């Protein structure tokens, strides 16, 4: 059964939105993303979270091409599925298949055992939704969080 768009959007929160990343390297971005996630009171041990994201990247780049990366991991640092959106104006060398720098980051983290079992559907919706240039541009150029959520909603609805 397909996952409702509203449920997918519920995993995102304005508190987990980084409109402009400061870091310029992959390692720096992973640290910045983990720190941004750890601003959420429910997320524990940002160092463990960062290590989990780094370990996933060592398995292969989460850069899916077309300016997008979806770093993701299952970790005990999070009590439930959470997602973060971050942007980089200049782009970060991420080792993406197309060789292009990444400007849009969608981080997805979940506990090893997840009650809702929406980790993979959320990853799939992000990969699918970000294939279209208008969807990517809408997220990249959104003036505020409401614009980002509107862009994601449109991307998820197809």
Active site residues: 72
Render 62-126 in DSSP notation, one character per residue.
Answer: -EEETTEE--EEE-TT-SS-EEEEEEEEEEE----TT-PPEEEEEEEEE-SS-SS--HHHHHHHH
Question: What contacts 68, CB < 8 A, 6 or more positions away?
Answer: 102, 103, 104, 105, 106, 130, 136
Yes or no: say if 3 and 119 are a contact pair by the CB < 8 Å rule. Answer: no
Q: Closest Cα partner for 103 from 144, 60, 149, 142?
A: 142
């Amino acid at each position: 059964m397909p996952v409702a768009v509203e449920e997918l959007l519920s995993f995102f929160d304005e508190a987990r939105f980084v409109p402009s990343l400061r870091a310029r390297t992959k390692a720096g971005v992973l640290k910045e993303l983990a720190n941004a996630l750890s601003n959420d009171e429910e997320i524990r041990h940002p160092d463990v979270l960062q290590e989990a994201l780094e370990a996933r990247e060592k398995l292969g780049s989460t850069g899916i091409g077309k300016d997008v990366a979806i770093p993701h991991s299952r970790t005990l640092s999070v009590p439930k599925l959470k997602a973060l959106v971050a942007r980089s104006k200049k782009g970060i060398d991420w080792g993406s298949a197309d060789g292009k720098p990444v400007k849009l980051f969608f981080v997805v983290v979940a506990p090893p055992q997840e009650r809702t079992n929406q980790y993979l559907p959320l990853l799939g919706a992000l990969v699918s939704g970000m294939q279209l240039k208008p969807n990517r541009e809408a997220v990249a150029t959104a003036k505020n969080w409401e614009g980002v959520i509107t862009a994601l909603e449109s991307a998820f609805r197809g």
